[in-house]
A and B are shown apart, each in its own frame.
Chain A
Amino acid sequence: MSTDRALIIGDVEFTNRLFTGTGKFANNADIAPMLEASGSQMITVALRRIDMAAGAENILEFIPENVTLLPNTSGARKAEEAVRIARVAREAGCGDFIKIEVITDAKYLMPDNFETLRATEMLAKEGFIVLPYILPDLTMVRRFENAGAAAIMPLGSPIGSNRGLETKALLAMLIENSRLPVIVDAGIGAPSQAAEAMEMGADAVLVNTAIATATDPVIMGEAFDMAVRAGRMAFLAETAGISNIARASSPLTGFLEEV
């Protein structure tokens, strides 16, 4: 049996390193069984103006109490808007965690690291546990550390694209050098890609689209859990090095020879 320390973010211990999201489920009733099957202990939600005709949807009704809520600031285009959303989420009883998402690029949904940093500074001062969604840039990570972020959430590839770890080389720099936990967020489309991030030494991954839009989100949640745990175990066990030429697995001496 392997033993692993818990991942601590803010004041909360996570023994499961798969974080999930509530977006895009065809049936929100799948969220609770997905959380059960995956063991995920933190899940994202978003805040929106209600549709006056349809009334208020309440995603919180579908999330068990023991799961930590991670409200995001999606829709924010400037730091001040992210701060406003964060305050509303906290006032509404969502706790102190906040995932900062500040995006102006509509095509690739690339985060604005500059505005995200400003929002991080402001919200950390207000006592939030701030998890900024960022482009993986090591120089910016130093600034996020100084700004009081609790973890960083660099993207693997564009949100919802399922393209996997296209930023792999940059992620490796962050994992090697960040003083904050690294949670690879966005673009992870298959359990193998989640395992890849964890093998590299990521502290956790956040997966929404790949689980929510699977034909069976509950089984996919379980598959991601297994992949994240396998990748984490492989990281802790330290994977063997790579070689360009063959290295025999069987002894090269003592062959039986033809008489």
Chain B
Amino acid sequence: MQIHINGKAEESVAETIAELISERKLATKSLVVEHNRTIVKQARWAEVQLHDGDKIELLSFVGGG
């Protein structure tokens, strides 16, 4: 299955957002996830199913003025 993560096409076998995040070994604290332009709260990461062509944005807060 191909999904777009932060604008890049990537192969993944993850079926949910939670699986994708553990597949990529990402720290979950303060991670913000957008799934096809909809923000998905952490509590729902395990429920949201991924499909071929989905667009995922993985964001976090950084220093800025």
Contact = CB atoms under 8 A, between A and B. Distances in A.
A41 to B, nearest CB: 16
Contacts of B58: 49-50, 52, 56
Given A52-B5, A87-B39, A59 B27 contact: no
Main SS of chain A's interface residues? mixed
Contact of A23 (B24, B37, B65): B65
A40 interface: no
| Interface size range on A against B | 35 or more
A47 B63 contact: no
B58 to A, nearest CB: 5
Contacts of A57: 60-62
Contact of B59 (A21, A88, A212): A88
A74 interface: yes
A120 interface: no
Contacts of B24: 52
A209 interface: yes
Interface stretch (B11-19, B28-36, B47-55): B28-36
A58 B6 contact: no
B32 A88 contact: yes
Nearest to B30: A58
B43 interface: no
Interface of B: 5-7, 24-27, 29-32, 34, 37, 39, 41, 57-65
Contacts of B31: 50, 56
B30 A46 contact: no
Contacts of B41: 91
A58 B25 CA distance: 16
Interface of A: 21-25, 28, 44-50, 52, 55-61, 71-72, 74, 84, 87-89, 91-92, 94, 159-160, 186, 206, 208-209, 212
A65 to B, nearest CB: 14
A126 B65 CA distance: 23
Q: Most B CB atoms within 10 A — which of A21, A56, A89, A186?
A: A56
A21 B64 contact: yes
Contacts of A91: 32, 39, 41
Nearest to A90: B39
A256 to B, nearest CB: 60
A21 B65 contact: yes
Contacts of B37: 84
A209 B64 CA distance: 10
